[in-house]
Amino acid sequence: ASVSFFANTVPAVGELDWGQPTGLPVSGLVANQRSAPIPLRLRLGPNTILGGVEIKLRYDPAAVEVVSISQGAGWANGPFFKTAGDVLGAATLGGISTGIAAEELELALVEVRPLAAAGSVVTITTEVNSLFTTDLSGIGAAVPRSGQALQFVVVGPQRRSAEAAEPAAETVDWSSVPHTSAPAAVRARRADCGTDPVLGDANADCVFSLDDALFTQ
């Protein structure tokens, strides 16, 4: 028997958290392959209505590429903006809301492509540059401030074994295949072919063809 153990953090008010809130936070990120969307979540706390937010991501462009950023399921209203790839090694996301009331929300979905070799440790840091309510009160500690980073180990692509890549050739036990003995007259005709017996030549016309199948019916 085996037991799977996952650590899912609960961020403080005004703080960020990467990945799923339960189960495996982030699935394996494979070298040179585009990842599944990774949730970036924001904790607002009770009785807080979000008015606006701006988050900056920073990373080593030689180690990872931020392929795309899209608004998360928790962004209910108001314009959402994002930049990915405009500035080397940096991306920005956020928006202005007309009022989102949620203790915790999925702010954005980020897709990345690891460029570093398998086994490398890659880090994407976050900066909270702006976070306020609809009445312009700050949420959490003073900004700008550092947020939670996404850190992962790059996984190598899986290789199929030779056995899995090439199916084994099918073999036939011919001894188990039923056959019909040719009558004496047919055997005499076969002897007149002047060649070695033709495998499957049931009607003794010295060739194996569809007629042989009909002859055995």
Quick one: pLDDT at residue 75? 95
Smallest CA-to-CA distance from 112 within 57, 55, 157 is with: 57
Please give the average pLDDT of every successive group of 10 residues along the chain, which has 217 residues: 63 90 76 92 94 96 96 94 89 94 94 95 96 95 94 80 51 52 54 60 62 51
Distances (CA, A) of 146 to 66, 68, 142: 19, 22, 10
DSSP letters spanning 40-56: EEEE--TT-EEEEEEEE
- CA-based R_g, the chain, Å: 34
Residue 165: its H or E element: helix 162-165
Q: Is the pTM of this model over 0.95?
A: no
Quick one: pLDDT at residue 95? 96
- What number of CA atoms fall less than 13 Å from residue 43's CA on the CB side? 16
Cα distance between residue 107 and residue 99, in whole Å: 14
